[in-house]
Amino acid sequence: MLLYSWLTLLKKNRAIAVIRASEIELGRKMALAAAQGGMELIEITWNSPRSAELISQLRVQLPNCIIGTGTLMNPTQVKEAIMAGAQFLFAPHVDPLMIKAAKDSDLPIIPGALTPTEIITAWQWGATCVKVFPVQPVGGPNYIRSLQGPLGQIPLIPCGGITLENAEEFLAAGALAVGVGTQLFPKNLVASGNWKAITDKAAWLRKKLGQSSGGNSCANLSVNLPVNSPINLPMKSPVNSSANLHVNSPVNLQVQTPIVKS
């Protein structure tokens, strides 16, 4: 994916749904519920059970969403995530070998950093954007705002402590986009299978950030999820070969559309 393509997607969507699930089926339902609410950028944390399998499944079931992964810890995991079909990559730290592995596959890599020195180091090593994490303990939106003077040329994605209520404030402070996890997927709603409530939260967030879920192709291709309903979708082979990755690569997006052909 070209840098401009990724930045265009972030400017269009402004929020990434971050999913950390205790089991693969819960993760799948969480992703489908978020997509139904209009979320196009979906991150599956790599330390979730069977994350590679889930990423491959979602590439098939949500072909017009952009499915990525996060909490990657080393270059081996980066390569495994790429083989699973991940379309963007987040890490909680800065590792030049991980950045190189992602860039070699032409995929966005967003390492985590906190201090100005760490952020600049990540950018100089070739990060596509920089994840500011954890942002809330160091000042939240005010911290992002204070970074804009010296580091305004570096696209920042704050994570950790982002809520549906304060997400807009982070964007106003200068963030390109935000990552939203537990606030979008409250434990009580996930445990009770209240997928409609999660869908409603996703739609509300998009509306608050100036996006409409009504015409969202990712949502339109999702399934309706009534409370506590099982999901019975036909399963296809995971995207796991290098040949398939080339065909389904987000490079096909170019800059004019976020739709990924499967």
Q: Which two tokens stand for residue 155?
A: 């696209």
The answer, yes or no, to whether residue 254 has pLDDT greater than 70, is no
- Average model confidence (pLDDT) across the chain: 85
Rg of the chain (C-alpha set): 17
In the residue annotation, 43 being an active-site residue is answered as yes
15 phi and psi angles, rounded to 5 deg: -145, 145
Given the residues 12, 29, 103, 131, select the one marked as catalytic: 131
* Structure confidence at residue 238 (pLDDT): 38
Percent of the chain with pLDDT over 70: 79
11 is catalytic: no
Q: If one looks up domain 3-226 in CATH, what number appears?
A: 3.20.20.70
Strands annotated E in the chain = 15-19, 41-45, 66-70, 89-90, 109-110, 112-113, 130-132, 156-158, 178-180
| List 43, 79, 80, 118, catalytic entry | 43
pLDDT of residue 226: 39
φ and ψ at 164, to 5 degrees?
-65, -25
pLDDT value, residue 256:
34
| pLDDT attached to residue 149 | 94
Confidence of residue 79 (pLDDT cuts 50, 70, 90): very high
Summarize the confidence of residues 173-195 as an average pLDDT.
Answer: 98
Confidence of residue 218 (pLDDT cuts 50, 70, 90): low
Average pLDDT for 201-220: 73
Domain ranges of the chain: 3-226
What is the pTM assigned to this prediction? 0.82
Mind giving me the DSSP string for 111-154? -EE-SHHHHHHHHHTT-SSEEETT-GGGTTHHHHHHHHHHHTTS
Ordered strands of the 178-180 beta sheet: 109-110, 89-90, 66-70, 41-45, 15-19, 178-180
Give the model's pLDDT for residue 54. 98
Task: Identify the weakest region by mean pLDDT among 64-73, 150-159, 166-175, 244-253.
Answer: 244-253
Residue at token pair 């608050």: 208
pLDDT for residue 198 is more than 90: yes
Tell me the C-alpha distance between 103 and 100, whole Å: 5
> pLDDT tens-digit profile of 102-144?
999 999 999 999 999 999 999 999 999 999 999 999 999 999 9
Give residue 241's pLDDT band: very low, low, confident or very high (50, 70, 90): very low
Contact status, residue 217 vs residue 64, Cβ threshold 8 Å: yes
Instruction: Measure the CA–CA gap between 51 and 42, rounded to whole angstroms.
Output: 13
Q: What is the pLDDT of residue 210?
A: 87
